[in-house]
């Protein structure tokens, strides 16, 4: 289910950040009394804790950075795949105008219907993580029409070869788009991020601060930043759904700008 279609971003993001902040502060308030007693009897508390926090912060920061980069690269790859399919469809539609008029109109009509089906049928399914199959029949019909055409001139043969090459490029781009439907990081990675966030809050809670207000502000600032980073990264993890997603706008622009119904 696409959460972004049900709950708006201005509700989900603040709710997530506040929940994250509340958990972090809850850990701090729970651990603080013990920390004050333990730190009072250990002169090296701050020094040892400082070394531990530096090492942990480095490793956890690298983990978050690598996950963010990986998610962004996946997102960009899917975006390129979608644009490749749109580009192939546009080239096909234009090139088909060189066929005899009746065949050209029939082929262009099928290409336009396929493009509209991507918007209306494929995308809602892909947003739910379901690989669509409704377009297979339309693609098979276009292929059958192309393969049944017999060129009678050298010009038609040249055009037909170009169209067939572009058609198979389109098939490759379409298959790549469908294959990326359920693209996401392994769930275990998010489990590690969540455990790391709890450890991060615990490490901040172990700081020996006499002023509770200062302690809450310091840990709160870090907690808010970590929460925002996790939320944005998770929102891009599923390229076809979520609050940061790839929309079928490129296909719609192709229909509006090129595939004007005749």
- The conformational region for residue 210 under phi > 0 = left, psi -120 to 50 = alpha, else beta, is alpha
Give DSSP secondary structure letters for 34-68. HHHHHHHT-TTHHHHHHHHHHHHHHHHHHHHHHHH
Give the integer Cα–Cα distance in Å for 249 and 83. Answer: 10
Tell the residue number behind the tokens 């980069």, with chain if given.
Answer: 69
Asked if residue 170 lies in contact with residue 85, where contact means CB atoms within 8 angstroms, the answer is yes
Residue 37: exposure state from Cβ atoms within 10 A (0-12, 13-18, ≥19): exposed
pLDDT of residue 5: 55
Average pLDDT over residues 129-139: 90
Asked if residue 16 lies in contact with residue 227, where contact means CB atoms within 8 angstroms, the answer is yes
Tokens of 195: 């455990």
Within 10 angstroms of residue 67's Cβ, the number of other Cβ atoms is 20
Give the integer Cα–Cα distance in Å for 60 and 194. Answer: 11
Residue 181 lies in a domain: yes
Q: How does residue 2 score in pLDDT terms, banded at 50, 70 and 90?
A: low
Residue 121 lies in a domain: yes
Q: How does residue 43 score in pLDDT terms, banded at 50, 70 and 90?
A: confident
Within 10 angstroms of residue 180's Cβ, the number of other Cβ atoms is 19
Average pLDDT over residues 59-81: 94
Asked if residue 236 lies in contact with residue 26, where contact means CB atoms within 8 angstroms, the answer is no
pLDDT at residue 41 greater than cutoff 80: no
Residue 202 lies in a domain: yes
Residue 262 lies in a domain: no
Q: How does residue 228 score in pLDDT terms, banded at 50, 70 and 90?
A: very high
Asked if residue 89 lies in contact with residue 108, where contact means CB atoms within 8 angstroms, the answer is no
Work out how many domains the chain is built from and give that number.
Answer: 1
Average pLDDT over residues 53-79: 94
pLDDT of residue 257: 92
Q: What is the pLDDT of residues 186-221, one digit of tens each?
A: 999 999 999 999 999 999 999 888 899 999 999 999
Residue 143 lies in a domain: yes
Residue 170 lies in a domain: yes
Average pLDDT over residues 72-76: 95
Tokens of 186: 């392994």
Give the integer Cα–Cα distance in Å for 176 and 136. Answer: 14
Residue 226 lies in a domain: yes
Of 151 and 41, the structure prediction assigns the larger pLDDT to 151
Compute CA 93 distance to the chain's CA centroid, rounded to the nearest angstrom.
Answer: 29
pTM: 0.85
pLDDT of residue 162: 94
Residue 236 lies in a domain: yes
Structural domain boundaries, residue 159: 3-257
Tell the residue number behind the tokens 């795949």, with chain if given.
Answer: 81
């Amino acid at each position: 289910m696409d959460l972004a279609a049900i709950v708006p971003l201005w509700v989900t993001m603040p709710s997530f950040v506040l929940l994250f902040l509340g958990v972090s502060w809850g850990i701090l308030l729970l651990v603080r009394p013990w920390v004050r007693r333990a730190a009072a009897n250990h002169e090296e508390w701050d020094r040892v804790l400082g070394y531990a926090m530096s090492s942990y912060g480095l490793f956890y920061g690298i983990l978050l950075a690598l996950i963010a980069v990986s998610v962004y690269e996946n997102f960009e790859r899917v975006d390129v795949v979608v644009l490749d399919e749109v580009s192939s469809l546009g080239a096909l539609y234009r090139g088909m105008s060189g066929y005899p008029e009746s065949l050209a109109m029939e082929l262009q009509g099928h290409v336009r219907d396929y493009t509209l089906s991507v918007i209306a049928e494929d995308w809602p399914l892909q947003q739910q993580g379901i690989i669509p199959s409704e377009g297979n029949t339309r693609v098979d019909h276009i292929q059958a029409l192309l393969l049944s055409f017999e060129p009678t001139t050298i010009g038609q043969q040249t055009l037909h070869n170009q169209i067939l090459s572009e058609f198979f490029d389109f098939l490759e781009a379409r298959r790549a788009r469908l294959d990326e439907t359920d693209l996401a990081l392994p769930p275990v990675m998010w489990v590690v991020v969540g455990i790391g966030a709890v450890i991060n809050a615990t490490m901040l809670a172990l700081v020996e601060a006499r002023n509770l207000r200062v302690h809450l502000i310091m840990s709160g600032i870090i907690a808010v930043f970590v929460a925002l980073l996790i939320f944005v990264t998770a929102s891009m993890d599923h390229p076809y759904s979520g609050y940061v997603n790839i929309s079928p706008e490129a296909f719609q622009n192709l229909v509006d700008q090129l595939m004007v119904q005749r």
